[in-house]
Amino acid sequence: MNIKIENIKKLESSPKIIKDIFNEYEIKEFLNLYNELPVTVHNKKQNVIKKRWLKGYNEKLEKIFYERLEKEIGSFKMDNLKDEKGEDILGLMQESYNPIGLHVDAGFDLSNQIYKQTLIPLSSVGSTIIFKNRYYDGSTNFTQDPEELGKKNLGYGQNKRSNAHLKLYGDKPFDEKIHKKYLQHENINNLKGLEVELIYEWEIGSMLIFDRTHLHCSSSIIEGKKIGIATFTKK
């Protein structure tokens, strides 16, 4: 459990969508950046390509991102792991062909005061589900899959696996209509006790900001592939 849980809770708020925060030219710059960056991971099982947003590839874009985010959430520090030289990375870019499952990005150092995370869509079709439910015990993938739960020797920056959520939020069945429309890739029993707070329909030029303690996942709506940038902050 995060040792700064009370400070974290004081700064929690509802998710918000900032429309038209990036113009067409800036989105093109983000896509150019994505194409220039080296591949970090190509997870063929999940069918996702991950690239770290490394510093120095587009300093003008870095400045724009920092200034716009600071205007929305106030002062912050990045919390996006390190590169091989020990330098901070600015975020994670993902090209996904399959939806990402239920998880929380609550950090890997439980002494950090985690803060907000952002999602910037670089493709137009997709949606992200933010749940009201929160978790304070580090970055975790929530699953009932015995094979996944058996994974203990995880590498740097990999989420632990857990089914702890099934004991935390009660036994209320998940909304069947929402499951059918948005979450068919998830076993509905794995969503027991969860309530949706926000469904973010991807819109190019917008940015989603939400607390890092929120459980969330991709929707099952993908046309071919989708590309987005995730960033994580701390105080």
* 3-state secondary structure labels for all residues of 202-231: CCCCCEEEEECCEEEEECCCCCCCEEEEEE
pLDDT band at 216 (very low <50, low <70, confident <90, very high): very high
Answer for the pair 194, 131: CB distance below 8 angstroms, yes or no.
yes
For the whole model, what pTM was predicted? Answer: 0.93
The parent domain of residue 134 ranges over 5-234
Q: Is the pLDDT of residue 231 over 90?
A: yes
Stronger pLDDT, 198 or 100, i.e. the higher one: 198
**CATH code at 203?**
2.60.120
- In the predicted structure, residue 2 carries a pLDDT above the cut 80: no
For the segment 114-170, what is each residue's pLDDT rounded down to a tens digit? 999 999 999 988 999 999 999 999 999 999 999 889 888 877 678 999 999 999 999
Structural domains counted in the chain: 1
- Binned at pLDDT 50, 70 and 90, residue 45 comes out as low
How do strand 140-142 and strand 160-162 relate by DSSP bridges? parallel
